[in-house]
A and B are shown apart, each in its own frame.
Chain A
């Protein structure tokens, strides 16, 4: 665990939900004292590589953040521009009644008790400046109308709290006006970025992705090695040799994965699952080293950066001449693919309306964007009886499913993965109702905050999710949390180790890969991880 963090769980859960004496309008933050709750500033080389304004090396504990001389003008101009360009921004600045329904919906508030982590107050940090400088009441009545003067301390406070929001949208489910803090956070981060303020955990992956095609900076030759290595590993488990085409022109489907799938653990086993599945159904597909990333750290920086990083997917689909695109397990990636890609980089009129070559199903829900989620694709295969699954091969797993924020709340992909899980394993248990589906809790590390210097805040934010996992572990003996998000897979293992030891993390298609009966396969002695399989005679007891 990170150097900045050595508190025990008992200590961390002593959370005081009583607001402090200090009025919230006071913006001062003691960064030194709050170590473990913020991320390092973006390195100049990354900011520069992406041609962003005011690149410099700086550190949050510095007294002087080396803001450009006209910083105030830049921010006010930036707010004005966004008010004119985004209805959501002006509306969300104007209509909050501070009813407090959102207050205890945020995982960071639940885990920290810091009142500025209540979504309402997080938004007020920006609203107070808007009211002061952009509304009649604020200009006349100032503080009495909830206005606050824009100072350097406010900028530092924004940095602290808008990089303590994972843009998970849980609060927007409960808001009577649908005010979405993710939108407000996105605007605030864009404003900060105008001053050259960002965090390195976002800017480095974004710069990598721009350059190499993926966040992890895997160059094309290493990409090819990794993918071929995965095919070898799959052969070791199944005895079946699978194809791993890259840049295959005229393939039917371009497959886009988050880079962690071919580079990180436990994502890698999910990647093996995809390879097994594609081989078994004889899918004519191709990977791309140029578009070797579905995830999009631009989402955590600015709309412009989303567009710049996302452009590669359609460009590559066009260059390779595929018919449609299949996107794999990743949360924020699907926020971008579902809600932004077509608007930003469409129309994809060079592609065809997606049709499953195996079942003939037309994916009419994707007829404009031409991109299908792998859970939609696989659920359709199962429903049409096109693949054979032996769920007993997953009997050593007692599975629960964690809805990732964006597929749940920015898409509604809720039942597809559950349908797959019920077919691929015998033991599947839901976490409590208020913690799943559209009410799901973030892993606590989303939106680019999954870095080690921020570990205390991540563990605090991960508490509600981990606590629900603990419930099913204690009640049903759940020992694996399945999910469809690369950030979940990257960060939940550490969080669960801290809060709920003995629960692993896996992808949905890892379990599919385990259960998939392949033509010509050896009898499977182990699952895709190399863990010996112990079946329970097929007597499932999973919930209906």
Chain B
């Protein structure tokens, strides 16, 4: 798909800039100036881009109305009183919709339905259950959330008790020193699964764009640098890291010396992810809440839905219709209001 000459057309300059930026940090972290850039300026910029970008994107979605009520119904409707309806998969009330959304957001309900179609000789089409994608996606998302929450220990003093609780839960098996977080293992496995699935499954490789690989690799980089810091000899100065983090959240940025180069790489990758977020498919996180096939109640015939831009259209009125066919209708014995 890619050809080198095309890469160097003016449109592609930004890709080159991105690569240049990575080279810069590798060189730059050793000078105090670059420590300020990557320890303070870049994180603040990333957060700013994230907040403004996500808000702008959500606003862009929200300002377009949903003119029609178009839920996808995945179960029995509410109709006759004695016929049980499917309150979560085909909700007719707001409460039901909240339940459906909760299942969707927290448990990936729709993905749980996944099947795999296979054509066998005969021909015989069989549909096996296929829960791997559901499992991989769920494991990845929940672990990612857990890891983010664990990181709150750097941003609050004293460390909130729920963070300590999550840490102890995550390190429940008490393997090794420092204790191995199970979430680290699971997220690595899940990311590897999601990546190899894309690379090895021909259909998926065919549909995948650079924008599908990039966030996966970025998150993988974040996880790996994080794990290197925790489990290997390249430990950063934890006290310094906390000082930096506390400085950032209290808007009194301070740059402790000697945190270590690996930390700055980790931080830069995180900032890249945060800043990239609003421009990418990662916005599915916010978008799912606005999805009209899931967040609307199937009460279409009970409650009128208003289309704010509904406009009159050209119709063929009864009078025009009767005028065209009147003679033949008369012969066929139709009665008319006005003879």
Q: List the interface of chain A (C-beta within 8 A of B).
A: 9, 13, 15, 17-19, 23-25, 51, 83-91, 94-101, 103-105, 110, 115, 118, 120-121, 124, 135-137, 140-146, 169, 172-180, 183, 210-213, 219-221, 224-225, 246-247, 289-290, 303-304, 307-308, 311-312, 315-316, 319, 338-340, 342-344, 346-347, 361, 363-369, 371, 373, 376, 379-380, 383, 408-416, 419, 432, 434-435, 437-439, 463-464, 467-468, 471
Beyond the given A342-B301, A367-B302, could you list 14 further A-B residue pairs with CB under 8 A, ordered by the A residue number?
Answer: A24-B206, A94-B57, A98-B208, A101-B110, A145-B209, A146-B209, A175-B110, A177-B294, A312-B316, A339-B70, A339-B300, A343-B68, A343-B310, A379-B83
- Can you name 9 A-B pairs with beta carbons within 8 Å? A17-B119, A24-B206, A118-B207, A146-B210, A176-B108, A221-B328, A380-B80, A409-B73, A410-B70
Measured CA separation A366–B303 after assembly (Å): 8
Measured CA separation A365–B60 after assembly (Å): 34
Tell me the minimal C-beta distance from A267 to chain B in angstroms. 22
Interface of chain B residues 52 through 92 with chain A (CB within 8 A): 57, 60-62, 64-80, 82-83, 85-86, 89-90, 92
Tell me the minimal C-beta distance from B257 to chain A in angstroms. 37
Select which of B116, B292, B307 is within 8 A of A104 by beta carbon: B116
Measured CA separation A54–B165 after assembly (Å): 67
What's the dominant secondary structure at chain A's contact region? Answer: helix
Interface contact A95-B313, CB-CB below 8 Å: no
Sorted nearest first, the 6 A-B pairs with minimum C-beta distance are A412-B77, A95-B287, A221-B332, A412-B73, A178-B293, A434-B127
Tell me the minimal C-beta distance from A245 to chain B in angstroms. 11
Interface contact B70-A90, CB-CB below 8 Å: no
Interface contact B68-A220, CB-CB below 8 Å: no
Interface contact A179-B206, CB-CB below 8 Å: no
Interface contact A95-B67, CB-CB below 8 Å: no
Interface contact B318-A315, CB-CB below 8 Å: yes
Tell me the minimal C-beta distance from A228 to chain B in angstroms. 10
Interface contact A419-B83, CB-CB below 8 Å: yes
Interface contact B202-A172, CB-CB below 8 Å: no
Interface contact A219-B127, CB-CB below 8 Å: no
Interface of chain B residues 238 through 291 with chain A (CB within 8 A): 279-281, 283-284, 287-288, 290-291
Contact A118 B203, CB 8 Å, known A110-B117, A342-B300, A467-B123: yes
| B111 at interface, CB cutoff 8 A | yes
| B237 at interface, CB cutoff 8 A | no
Chain A residues with CB under 8 Å of B200's CB are none
Tell me the minimal C-beta distance from B262 to chain A in angstroms. 29
Measured CA separation A232–B294 after assembly (Å): 48
Interface contact A174-B302, CB-CB below 8 Å: no
Interface contact B317-A315, CB-CB below 8 Å: yes
| B335 at interface, CB cutoff 8 A | yes
Interface contact A383-B15, CB-CB below 8 Å: no
Measured CA separation A365–B303 after assembly (Å): 9
Interface contact A220-B328, CB-CB below 8 Å: yes
Chain A residues with CB under 8 Å of B19's CB are none
As a 0/1 sequence over residues 294 to 318 of chain B, the CB contacts with chain A under 8 angstroms (1 = contact) are 1000111111111101100111111
Chain A residues with CB under 8 Å of B75's CB are 412, 414, 437-438
Measured CA separation A70–B191 after assembly (Å): 47
Interface contact A247-B334, CB-CB below 8 Å: yes
Tell me the minimal C-beta distance from B133 to chain A in angstroms. 6
Contact A221 B287, CB 8 Å, known A339-B70, A342-B305: no
Interface contact B90-A412, CB-CB below 8 Å: yes
Select which of A9, A95, A103, A224 is within 8 A of B288 by beta carbon: A95
Interface contact B62-A87, CB-CB below 8 Å: yes
Chain A residues with CB under 8 Å of B111's CB are 99, 101, 174, 176
Interface contact A463-B293, CB-CB below 8 Å: no
Chain A residues with CB under 8 Å of B306's CB are 343
Contact A115 B207, CB 8 Å, known A312-B316, A365-B78: yes
Chain B residues with CB under 8 Å of A319's CB are 318
Tell me the minimal C-beta distance from A123 to chain B in angstroms. 10
| B149 at interface, CB cutoff 8 A | no
Measured CA separation A118–B117 after assembly (Å): 13
Interface contact A467-B68, CB-CB below 8 Å: no
Tell me the minimal C-beta distance from A70 to chain B in angstroms. 24
| B211 at interface, CB cutoff 8 A | yes
As a 0/1 sequence over residues 95 to 132 of chain B, the CB contacts with chain A under 8 angstroms (1 = contact) are 00000000010001011011111010001110100000
Chain A residues with CB under 8 Å of B5's CB are none
Interface contact A140-B14, CB-CB below 8 Å: yes
Interface contact B283-A103, CB-CB below 8 Å: no
Interface residues contributed by chain B, number (CB under 8 Å): 104
Chain A residues with CB under 8 Å of B70's CB are 88, 180, 183, 339, 410
Tell me the minimal C-beta distance from B274 to chain A in angstroms. 16
Tell me the minimal C-beta distance from A541 to chain B in angstroms. 24
Interface contact B203-A19, CB-CB below 8 Å: yes
Chain A residues with CB under 8 Å of B332's CB are 220-221, 224-225
Measured CA separation A176–B284 after assembly (Å): 10
Tell me the minimal C-beta distance from B293 to chain A in angstroms. 4
Interface contact A95-B281, CB-CB below 8 Å: yes
Tell me the minimal C-beta distance from B91 to chain A in angstroms. 10
Measured CA separation A87–B65 after assembly (Å): 5
Select which of A84, A97, A115, A415 is within 8 A of B83 by beta carbon: A415
Interface contact A365-B211, CB-CB below 8 Å: no
Chain B residues with CB under 8 Å of A365's CB are 77-79, 92, 299, 301-302
Tell me the minimal C-beta distance from B279 to chain A in angstroms. 5
Contact A463 B209, CB 8 Å, known A84-B64, A115-B203, A173-B72: no
Chain B residues with CB under 8 Å of A367's CB are 301-302
Question: Which residue of B is nearest A468, CB measured?
Answer: B125
Contact A304 B77, CB 8 Å, known A146-B211, A343-B306, A368-B304: no
| B33 at interface, CB cutoff 8 A | no
Tell me the minimal C-beta distance from B227 to chain A in angstroms. 25
Interface contact B1-A23, CB-CB below 8 Å: yes
Measured CA separation A365–B90 after assembly (Å): 13
| B11 at interface, CB cutoff 8 A | yes
Select which of A84, A97, A315, A346 is within 8 A of B212 by beta carbon: A97
Interface contact B292-A87, CB-CB below 8 Å: yes
Contact A178 B211, CB 8 Å, known A221-B329, A414-B77: no
